[in-house]
Amino acid sequence: MLGRTTLIFTLGVLGGWILLGGAGKAIAQVITGLWASHQVEESYRISIGVDANGKPRRDGKVDELRTHYNLPIHYGNLIGITGHDGAAVFWYQDNTGVVRNAIVPDAATALSRIGYTDTKELELDPIQ
């Protein structure tokens, strides 16, 4: 029995190393439900605040650098957002009633955007 326990512990440590190391980036992204795709610089003009007379200030240019995350379209519609330890947890419900979460890990410190991406060859295999 000691051999099996040692094997399970070793696999657990190896799995943790993969998730935390550079080689585990793709695996870690699967766990969040979102795939970081690319950086997007969004630029726009907007009036921010009012002057001493209470009138809107002249438009100023705003530039934002955001990480674009791809969300599988089969996740469905956004039904709620919660937070935990600096992360934002987005909750989606598909047309069959299944609820899934997708996590933006650094939502408190980095700008992001989420866009739907087509899902191909979706397979659902219940595991006991």
Dist CA 97 CA 42 (whole Å): 34
Please, what is the average pLDDT of the chain?
A: 79
Distance between first and last Cα of the chain: 23
Domain boundaries along the sequence of the chain: 1-31, 33-117
> Which pLDDT value is given to residue 22?
42
Q: Confidence class of residue 34 from pLDDT cuts 50, 70 and 90? A: confident
Confidence class of residue 30 from pLDDT cuts 50, 70 and 90? very low
pLDDT at 31: 57
Radius of gyration of the chain (CA): 21
How far is residue 38's CA from residue 117's CA, in Å, rounded to a whole number?
A: 13
Which of 11-15, 36-40, 65-69 has the weakest average pLDDT?
11-15
Question: Which of the four pLDDT bands, split at 50, 70 and 90, describes residue 111?
Answer: very high
In this predicted structure, the answer to whether residue 35 has a pLDDT above a threshold of 50 is yes
Is the full-model pTM beyond 0.75? no
